[in-house]
Structure 1
Amino acid sequence: MSIVVTAASGQLGRLTVKALLNRGVPASGIIATSRDVSRIKDLADRGVTVRQADFAEPASLPAAFEGADKLLLISTTTPSERVANHRRAIDAAVTAGVSLVAYTSMLRADTSTTSLAPTHSATEEYLRERLPSVMLRNGWYLENYTAQLPQVLQGGAVVGAAGQGRISAATRADYAAAAAVVLTTDGHAGKAYELGGDESFTLAELAATISAAAGKRIEYTHLTADAFTRVLLDAGVPAELAHVLADADLAMSRDEMFTDSGDLRHLIGRPTATPAEAIAAALR
């Protein structure tokens, strides 16, 4: 059995490869793909099969997926190109005879009002029509916040437009562990897992957790979506991403990034990392 992990040079993809190895999958049974294979040379050094794959270049995909039994399709990063790229990858998986595709979708993809949701729901629909599949509807990453800790500590504030909405964020490592479980055990075809951390929080609560960990008063500054977008643009965030992030915060204000399904904890067989644990690790 060979398992393909796409976008293996990205953070989630790389963690998933490591999670598969930790679950006892031999390196020879893993195929890691990337547009630039030089970025995953370390995986090749561990015995993982490394292949070049670019979803924008369909001719690269048959060879990349050859011999695959299961495939993790990690959603691509450019929303405007996402559906077309995913359809090419799914078509190539069909041709390769893949028996199961796990797709990293988004939380509540079928009901979410975010601008990102249609790209995920369209991919889910296309995939269901063509292959046995499982939807890994990942919630927000805790790293989206821990990566901003230097700026938060400098400015003394968590800034956002999420109001008092609750967020069920988890670490990439926990989402990767769930993907590895789905790819190495049976009974997941046809499922849609709503994945999020056990301990939800508001941004005000997140600010309080950072305060406790850093020993410095941090407050939550609530802004309108337009004002938050301007803050992101002024910080150098590309325009498309700034609008996506502000739109995501609006969804958070409506509790669309919250889940109490317990799916992530159930899949990985342990509690998820807490915000306090993620923050403490990032501050070390």
Structure 2
Amino acid sequence: MTILLTGGTGKTSLRLASLLHSASIPVLLTSRRGTSTTSFPCVTFDWNDKTTWANPFTAATDIKAVYLLSGNLHDPAPILNSFIDLCKSKGVKRFVVCSGSSCEKGGPFHGKIWQKLEDEGLEFCVLRPSWFMENLSEPGHGHFETILHHNKIFTASGDGKIPWVSAEDIAAVAFHALTDDKSHDCAYRILGPDLLSYDEIAETLSKQLGKQIVHVKLTERQRVQGMMDAGVPEEMAKFLTNLEVMAREGRETWQGDDVEVVTGKKAISFDEFVVLNEGAWK
């Protein structure tokens, strides 16, 4: 049985591919750039180009489970639901959707995908992770760049607290949801063990890196403009800023132990994460 992972170059998909490979489970990744983007088997695939959707099933005829990662789609539900229909026609039995902590069944964005999977009686699991620790430590993310080059973190999150989680833990939960004999048929909030504000994030980084990292608190308008000045499209800048405003308003203070319940291991703390990834900021 081959497991298909969309978003093949994403933080969770690559980690998930490694876990599946280590378990000797065949895996196939997708990427808009095609086969040269990873050492794992990979096919060209673009959510916005339906002519590429059949490529995975040409490359592997025994796909029975799919990991759905929608990337930067503004309205993922119509597109992913259409792809789910194609997958069903090809014999796919199980779907695992990576969403966000605020996703609710039947709601906007991934909520309508969750509703479809449940209504149609499909094997499924919806992952609702909090904010990724890797957004602070990996190139390509604004926080990483400003920490590395300016010793600053710019947000509109104010003093809002967030249960930061590592992509390693998200991948571990996804692995079980895709491979366990019994389908989970539920949603998990995948959270780190601590609620931390950006001020506390900056303090931890300062202590570990031996230099002062400052959290600069911006207004919503300042944050949107700053992202746009850095090349982020206006619509995406507003969307990302709204997530930070939600955190400022206390709407990300989720707590729970779903990572440990599913994997048998406690979620990694931010202190542990910084020690493991200290070299990223030097």
| Distance in 1, Cα, partners of 2:251 & 2:231 | 27
Unaligned 5+ segments in structure 2 are none
Identity, in percent, stands at 23
| Distance in 2, Cα, partners of 1:107 & 1:140 | 8
| Distance in 2, Cα, partners of 1:62 & 1:233 | 36
Query: In the alignment, what sits opposite 1:208?
Result: 203
* Cα shift at 1:150: 4.5
| Structure 1 segments (4+ residues) deviating >4 Å | none
| Distance in 2, Cα, partners of 1:190 & 1:165 | 32
Unaligned 5+ segments in structure 1 are 45-49, 112-116
> Is residue 2:142 matched to residue 1:145?
no
Match for residue 195 of structure 1 among 169, 186, 190: 190
Pick closer, same or farther for the CA change 1:83–1:165 going to 2, 3 Å. Answer: same
| Distance in 2, Cα, partners of 1:141 & 1:95 | 34
Query: In the alignment, what sits opposite 2:20?
Result: 20
Q: Return 64-73 or 100-109, whichever deviates more.
A: 64-73
SS at match of 2:199: helix
Query: In the alignment, what sits opposite 1:160?
Result: 155
1:127-163 deviations in Å (ceiling 9; x for gaps): 3233221101121111112243452254343221112
Give 2:100's aligned amino acid: M
Query: In the alignment, what sits opposite 2:101?
Result: 107
* Cα shift at 1:63: 4.8
Match for residue 266 of structure 2 among 258, 268, 271: 271
SS at match of 1:272: coil
SS at match of 1:133: strand
Query: How many residues align structurally?
Result: 270
Match for residue 120 of structure 1 among 106, 110, 113: 110
Pick closer, same or farther for the CA change 1:252–1:43 going to 2, 3 Å. Answer: same
> Is residue 2:124 matched to residue 1:133?
yes
* Cα shift at 1:71: 1.1
Pick closer, same or farther for the CA change 1:153–1:57 going to 2, 3 Å. Answer: closer
Q: Return 118-127 or 195-204, whichever deviates more.
A: 118-127
8 Å contact 1:55–1:88 — kept in the other structure? no
1:58-83 deviations in Å (ceiling 9; x for gaps): 34334524421111111232214x22
| Distance in 1, Cα, partners of 2:212 & 2:81 | 47
8 Å contact 1:9–1:39 — kept in the other structure? no
Pick closer, same or farther for the CA change 1:234–1:18 going to 2, 3 Å. Answer: same
8 Å contact 2:188–2:258 — kept in the other structure? yes
Match for residue 56 of structure 1 among 27, 48, 66: 48
Q: How does 1:55-94 map to 2 (within 5 A)?
A: 55-65=47-57, 66-80=61-75, 82-94=76-88
Query: In the alignment, what sits opposite 1:47?
Result: none
TM-score normalised to the size of structure 1? 0.85
1:219-251 deviations in Å (ceiling 9; x for gaps): 322222111112222233332332122111011
> Is residue 2:164 matched to residue 1:169?
yes
Q: How does 1:230-245 map to 2 (within 5 A)?
A: 230-245=225-240
